[in-house]
Structure 1
Amino acid sequence: MSRAAMFRRLAAAAAVVSLMGLAACATPSRPEAMSLAATSGLTAAPGDPGYHAVTSVIVSGGSETNPLWTAQVSNQDLKTALETSLAAAGYMGSDGPNMVVTANMVQLQQPMAGLDLSVTSRIQYSVTSDGRVIFNDTVSATGTAGMGEAFVATERLRLANEKSIKENIKQFLTRFRATAR
């Protein structure tokens, strides 16, 4: 085999290995996949407590995704998903008494490996109105992504993160609605 042919084969092998490495890079969670659309039974109507009253959402405890490690949920992505979900449910606005929703990501429990990946998120929510706390609870929710959804483990982990956060927001809205009545 000539030296030129050997060099081409080595270059091709290096390119394939590089592309495989890129395919395994972790990507951040997508707010649109974590957001809850308007859902029957969770949507506020005029006259309901909190209807168009949430003026601010504060989020802490999230982590930025390191592409060389694992998918995470950043504060900004969680905030966007929570604001979008609150808007879809009829809570965002300035028509009622000003309400502030605070969400603190207490834990994002992720598996190290597996075929079906399950992620459990624990978020502590607090809702205040005119300085007084009207809701304070920690919500825990699990999301699972299987091999059929994504072959690459880093993508399955991102999908499981998104499902967990979406379910967490859904449970928060359910509890808040039940408490605020």
Structure 2
Amino acid sequence: MRRLAVGAAVVALMGLAACASPSNPALMTLPATPGLTASSSDLGYHAVTTVTVSGGQGTNPLWTSQVSNADFKTALENSLAAAGYMGTEGQPMTVSASLIDLKQPLAGFDLSVISQVRYTVTRAERVLFDETVAATGTASMGQSLLATERLRMANEASIRENIKTFLTRFRARAR
């Protein structure tokens, strides 16, 4: 009887360990990156005052890790700040990001997630940038043995790469 109780407790703890966890905004944030940081002569330098995000989903612990609007917004704002775009100098700009798709695998050893986000940058009701960006993030077995954790890590890597691609394209267009 005691072995049965211990076995049931172990199974219950393993079930809890396999619960999906939400994405971490800090791990989706792109740090200051050479070549992507705005200078005072660049369009948008310290001018982004508003960031809106839509299309995200909260994580259901019994299903799979997702990216919520709040977490994506925090990561995008922090990435824009690190790149020198957030601020109140010049004419205010708005960045809108709509998470169109988060293609996640059902299973696997190395998990790759493809995020597709439409970014729109406006200033005084004029559209300065309007593109859809797709990016891939991968997490390997070496990073975590738990598939739920690898999926979360792949989500975070995909969003971070997506933000990086957006900043690269915006910066190229803003010159």
- Partners in 2 of 1:88 and 1:96 — Cα distance? 18
Corresponding residue of 2:165:
171
User: For residue 153 of structure 2, what is the amino acid of its counterpart?
Assistant: L
3-state SS of the aligned residue for 1:66? coil
Paired residue type of 1:124: R
Q: How many residues align?
A: 175
Matched, 1:159 2:135: no
**Overall identity of the aligned pairs, in %:** 67
Residue in 1 that maps onto 2:117: 123
C-alpha displacement at 1:180, in angstroms?
1.1
User: CA RMSD for the aligned pairs?
Assistant: 0.5
Displacement, 1:176? Answer: 0.4
Q: What whole-Å deviation, never above 9, does each CA across 1:20-62 have from its counterpart, x for those lacking one?
A: 0001000000000000000000000112110000000000000
Paired residue secondary structure (1:151): coil
Question: d(CA) in 2 for partners of 1:96 and 1:156?
Answer: 42
Partners of 1:90 and 1:67 in 2: CA distance: 35
Aligned partner of 2:129 in structure 1 is 135
Unaligned runs of 5+ in 2: none
TM-score, length-scaled by structure 2: 0.99
Computing the radius of gyration over CA atoms, which structure comes out larger, 1 or 2? 1
| Unpaired stretches in structure 1, ≥5 consecutive residues | 1-5
Moved >3 Å (runs of 4+): none
Counterpart of 1:3?
none
Structure 2: how far apart are the matches of 1:47 and 1:180?
10
Residue pairs, 1:68-87, within 5 angstroms: 68-87=62-81
Q: Report the 3-state secondary structure (helix = DSSP H, G, I; strand = E; otherwise coil) of the residue aligned with 1:73.
A: coil
Q: Equivalent residues in 2 for 1:1-181 (5 A)?
A: 6=1, 8-181=2-175
Q: Distance in 2 between matches of 1:91 and 1:46?
A: 10
The alignment's TM-score, normalised by the length of structure 1, stands at 0.96
